[in-house]
């Protein structure tokens, strides 16, 4: 599939049969974008689910991410081949740098050139980054040129709207992909989101997804529950008002969930 569907499913923290079943359920429900990563340890299960479902390769969009320990010249491309073998496909639609190299141990120029090489070799249709700061995005565009970086996948949800990074990404021609859109369940506990949801006969999750789409962002919520996946898939029935959007915009309090010690210095 050439273009990334606006809403896909994430597989972070999904293991073994749970990962396989979640992807099977998602495909059955109608999702056509599946996001995984080398470090998740579930590429094989994702591949199994895709095979079991029997969906034609051109009918879905598949993303995986290269872990920073595989950035070396001798390990980057082999790691992508390894991922493809596990995913049981000859290419992904999007290959991301999962995290910038901690403390620039591997120069960005080196691993981004390897990323571009993966695209040139036909191992991926698109290339992108994840967890990049404004400065890092700018540097990446300098290295690879404009229009090469498809997306920056970042933590983004009502409580951490990452506005500066999102804005700059779009100015640089990158799509913004929001991961952890439900803030590990905090969305479901928000009084504001719950009130808006009740007014629309919807769920807080659906309201959040409608808000993300309204912002022009892409997203990859995850769930192990088929009912929740179906609920997520049907968020489009929610038409938020300008007032709703403003209320959600005002929930931003910089509540960052993903902040590993190897992460960059955030904007």
Question: What are the domain boundaries of the chain?
Answer: 9-191+217-229
Superfamily the domain 9-191+217-229 falls into: NADP-dependent oxidoreductase domain (3.20.20.100)
- Annotated binding residues, written as ranges, equal 98
Please list the ranges in the chain whose pLDDT falls under 50.
none
**Res 167: pLDDT:** 98
**Structural tokens at position 224:** 């192990």
**Res 2: pLDDT:** 87
- Annotated binding residues for substrate, written as ranges, equal 98
pLDDT tens digit sequence for 145-180: 999 999 999 999 999 999 999 999 999 999 999 999
Q: Mark whether 40 is an active-site residue.
A: yes
* pTM metric for this prediction: 0.97
């Amino acid at each position: 599939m050439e273009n990334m569907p606006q809403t896909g499913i994430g597989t972070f923290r999904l293991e073994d049969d749970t990962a396989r079943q979640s992807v099977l359920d998602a495909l059955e429900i109608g999702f056509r974008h599946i996001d995984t990563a080398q470090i998740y340890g579930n590429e094989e299960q994702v591949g199994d689910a895709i095979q079991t479902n029997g969906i034609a390769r051109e009918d879905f969009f598949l993303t995986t991410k290269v872990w920073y320990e595989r950035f070396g010249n001798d390990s980057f491309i082999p790691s992508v081949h390894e991922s493809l073998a596990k995913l049981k496909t000859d290419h992904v639609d999007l290959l991301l740098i999962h995290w910038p190299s901690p403390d620039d141990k591997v120069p960005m120029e080196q691993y981004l050139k390897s990323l571009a090489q993966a695209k040139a070799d036909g191992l991926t249709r698109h290339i992108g980054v994840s967890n990049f700061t404004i400065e890092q995005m700018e540097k990446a565009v300098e290295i690879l040129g404009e229009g090469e970086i498809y997306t920056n996948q970042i933590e983004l949800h009502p409580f951490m709207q990452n506005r500066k990074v999102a804005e700059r990404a779009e100015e640089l021609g990158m799509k913004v992909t929001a991961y952890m859109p439900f803030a590990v369940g905090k969305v479901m506990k928000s009084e504001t989101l719950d009130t808006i949801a009740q007014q629309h006969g919807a769920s807080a999750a659906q309201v959040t997804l409608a808000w993300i789409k309204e912002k022009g962002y892409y997203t990859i919520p995850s769930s192990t529950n088929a009912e929740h996946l179906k609920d997520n898939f049907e968020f489009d029935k929610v038409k938020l008002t300008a007032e709703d959007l403003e209320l959600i915009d005002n929930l931003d309090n910089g509540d960052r969930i993903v902040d590993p010690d190897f992460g960059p210095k955030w904007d």
